[in-house]
Each structure stands twice: as structure tokens, then as C-alpha cells.
């Protein structure tokens, strides 16, 4: 499953609001060991107070879904990573995360993310592939 997840360009981050409602957004990400990192970047957003950050602070519950769709259904696959999400304070860990994200995404080399770094400490991997 790692071989499918690591190079994937986008995943869908699901967090849970304080009231129990789900919230899902697409994210750029990188995975190292069993930690997924993402950062709030400078792409235009409605505002800087993002729901995913509020949700992580409130509940910490999160999942990341990575998948690939093809018209040829024999090539379909998905992987879901479940765990605890947290904000990474300015530290060696956040610097390492941004360096890893910059290695994966050329856009981040040109303009490093300035927002908070999010980490998902993966506790469980679930997946399916049409070829297995």
C-alpha cells in the first residue's frame, strides 16, 4: 500500500467538527514512516481560519483517503489512513515536514508553505485494489 500512497499527488483529509459533523478537503501531502504531513500553503482561500485546523484542535480525529480512478476498473485502488491529527509547532519536525513537501511538490520549492504544518499519526491502514 505504501507504494501507492507515497507518490500520489493528492489525498482527501477527513476531520471531525466539535459537533460530530465530518469535514473533507483535498490536500497535498507527504508520508514518512507512519506520519502524514501537510501544510497550509498560500493558495487563495476564503480566509486563514481553516475548518480543518479547528477540527484537529477540537477532536484530533482524522483520516486520509488516497485513491486512483480509471475507466478500466481492473486498475482501481484506494487506501485510507486513520489516526490522530495534530498541529506541529515551529520545530525541527515542522522544518523537516516542509522540506519533504518541497521535495515532492515543485510549487513548494518556489513558494514554501507559510501556514501551520499538520501531522496525521497513522494508527491503521485500510485499502483495496482491483488487482489483489
Domain residue spans of the chain: 2-129
Give the pLDDT score at 57. 94
Q: In this predicted structure, what is the pLDDT of residue 44?
A: 52
pLDDT level of residue 82 (50, 70, 90 thresholds): very high
Query: Tell me, what DSSP letter sits at residue 70?
Result: -
Q: What is the pLDDT of residue 41?
A: 73
- Distant-in-sequence, close-in-space partners of 33: CB < 8 Å, separation ≥ 6: none
Model pTM score: 0.91
Quick check: 46 pLDDT over 80? no
CA of 52: how far to CAs of 3, 14, 71, 75, in Å?
27, 8, 32, 31
pLDDT at 47: 57
**Architecture per CATH, 2-129:** Roll (2.30)
Q: How confident is the model at residue 13 (pLDDT cuts 50, 70, 90)?
A: very high
Residue 90's pLDDT is 75
Chain centroid to CA 72: how far?
26
Amino acid at each position: 500500500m505504501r507504494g501507492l500512497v507515497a507518490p500520489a499527488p493528492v489525498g482527501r483529509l477527513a476531520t471531525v467538527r466539535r459537533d460530530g459533523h465530518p469535514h473533507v478537503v483535498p490536500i497535498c501531502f507527504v508520508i514518512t514512516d507512519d506520519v502524514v504531513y501537510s501544510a497550509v500553503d498560500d493558495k487563495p482561500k476564503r480566509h486563514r481560519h481553516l475548518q480543518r485546523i479547528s477540527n484537529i484542535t477540537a477532536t484530533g480525529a482524522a483520516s486520509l483517503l488516497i485513491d486512483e480512478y480509471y475507466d478500466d476498473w481492473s486498475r482501481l485502488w484506494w487506501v485510507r489512513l486513520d489516526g490522530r491529527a495534530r498541529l506541529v509547532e515551529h520545530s525541527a519536525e515542522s522544518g523537516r515536514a516542509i522540506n519533504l513537501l518541497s521535495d515532492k511538490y515543485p510549487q513548494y520549492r518556489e513558494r514554501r508553505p507559510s501556514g501551520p504544518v499538520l501531522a496525521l499519526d497513522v494508527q491503521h491502514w485500510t485499502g483495496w485494489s482491483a488487482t489483489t
